[in-house]
Structure 1
Amino acid sequence: MLEPHMNLLKRYFSKIESPEEAEFFLNSSSYILFLIGFLQSILFTFLLGSFRNFYMDVLLLFIFGIVIRFSRSRVSVILLCIYSLIILIGTTLTWFGIAAGGGNNIFLALLLLLLSIRTLIVSFQFHTLKNTKLIWKNIWIRHLIAIGFAFILFSSFFISFIMISKFLGIAEMNSLHGEIIFESFPISYILLLLPGLPWAKKRRMYTTSENPS
């Protein structure tokens, strides 16, 4: 009964020799990110009772998982590595009582960093095996479109909050509301770069030409 699971693990950690193997790994990594985010949400909600203070960490993990699953962006995995390193440093400092406000599960943070590094390596291997070539014109267009829509969304949140605050007589911005408003720009910007969106389907960021080997 354990043989299928062992084969799956062996395939996951085996040497990448084809684009299909790289895609399998990247897809699996995205599912693991979803799982880590789900586990963190349970940990923060039921064990620490402070999901409100860490919801952005969980949200970012889900976003990275979505982007890695549906897009082969090397920038996204680089950002994931940086984010994972920051999480590990913060968790380590909290673990040893040097600082407060970080996570408490140092093993999960270490797992996330190792997964991120491995995903980064495989992502570059995927593009090497596919012999991808960047299309800079489409890259600029899609980034400008994403920035434009993200700015509109951010502005809508901000204006709506101002109007609602005046209507309800709220004088100060709640920290949670502030995070939602100001984080809406980078989050929506990343999501708007996904290849499945209407303006992205005809503007691929790269072309592929697999190596004969």
Structure 2
Amino acid sequence: MKFLKSFLNKIESVQEAEEFLNFSSKILFCIGILQGILFAFLLGSLSTFYFDPLLMFVFGLVIRFSRSRTASVLLFVYSSIIFIATGLSLLEIIGGVGNNPILALALFLVSIRILYASFKFHFLMKSIFVWKNIWIRNLISIVFAFVTSVILFIFFVFLSRSIGIIQLNNVQGEILLFSFPILYILLLLPFFPWAKKRPMYLPSEKGDLVGT
């Protein structure tokens, strides 16, 4: 009930924005758990769809600990694609996606509010861009994510061939496709050595550094 009230109310303070973002990260964790349960036990396709629950956990972590506007924008784009794909699937225009319209709608609505709350948080904090650090950290994250995803892809290709699977399958393709954005978003967390020394935002009224 408290979350529903905060979901509908206007955010007018940094504390309100923080409380909403913290609770929203828990909602994303719950959505990820529900997706995992559905895919594993009801839809019977955990090997194909476990990236979606993992992505929810990563978004939840980044939003919880970094208040990242970049992550909130990416979450909104991702949830919009899922929501549209689900609608098209229900209309039988496309197939194979959008198996749960309730989760898709919930994620879409939460992502809109997270987008608003994250931008409102930085607006109220009067955050100042540190452009040099933004470019450096994003470049490092992109390079690390790309290299790691390629290594994972090569590893699974060799693993598949070692057990007799010669042709590429959907799982191998999705490892390359989804591991990159997951790793990129995860690397935006302010816990990594290169991130601690390079804050992306600096509040103008406080001396504390803001992560992303």
- Indicate the TM-score class for this superposition, using the shorter chain for normalisation: 0.7 to 0.9
The one of 2, 5, 14 aligned to 2:9: 14
The one-letter code matched in structure 1 to 2:185 is I
Give the Cα–Cα distance (whole angstroms) in 2 for the partners of residues 115 and 92 of structure 1.
17
The one of 14, 24, 47 aligned to 2:19: 24
Match of residue 138 from structure 1: 133
TM-score calculated relative to the size of structure 1:
0.86
Are residues 1:181 and 2:176 paired?
yes
Which structure 2 residues correspond to residues 4-153 of structure 1 after superposition, within 5 A?
6-7=1-2, 9-153=4-148
RMSD of equivalent CA atoms: 2.2
Match of residue 172 from structure 1: 167
Q: Percent identity?
A: 57
- Residues 7, 113 of structure 2: 8 Å contact kept: no
- Residues 150, 185 of structure 1: 8 Å contact kept: yes
Alpha-carbon deviation of 1:12?
Answer: 5.0
- Residues 85, 113 of structure 1: 8 Å contact kept: yes
The one-letter code matched in structure 2 to 1:54 is F
Match of residue 191 from structure 1: 186
Give the Cα–Cα distance (whole angstroms) in 2 for the partners of residues 8 and 163 of structure 1.
47
Structure 2's unaligned 5+ residue stretches are: 207-212
Match of residue 3 from structure 1: none
The one-letter code matched in structure 2 to 1:108 is L
Alpha-carbon deviation of 1:43?
Answer: 1.9
User: Secondary structure in 2 aligned to 1:207?
Assistant: strand
Q: Which has the larger radius of gyration?
A: 1
Structure 1's unaligned 5+ residue stretches are: 1-5
The one-letter code matched in structure 2 to 1:76 is A
Alpha-carbon deviation of 1:101?
Answer: 1.0
Match of residue 210 from structure 2: none
Alpha-carbon deviation of 1:7?
Answer: 4.7
Matched pairs, number:
206
- Residues 129, 210 of structure 1: 8 Å contact kept: no
Q: Which shifted more, 84-93 or 97-106? A: 97-106
The C-alpha deviation readout for 1:40-69, integer Å capped at 9, x for no partner, is 211222222223332222222122111111
Give the Cα–Cα distance (whole angstroms) in 1 for the partners of residues 128 and 166 of structure 2.
52
Give the Cα–Cα distance (whole angstroms) in 2 for the partners of residues 38 and 13 of structure 1.
25
Which structure 2 residues correspond to residues 198-209 of structure 1 after superposition, within 5 A?
198-209=193-204
User: Secondary structure in 1 aligned to 2:74?
Assistant: helix
Alpha-carbon deviation of 1:200?
Answer: 0.7
TM-score calculated relative to the size of structure 2:
0.86
User: Secondary structure in 2 aligned to 1:133?
Assistant: strand
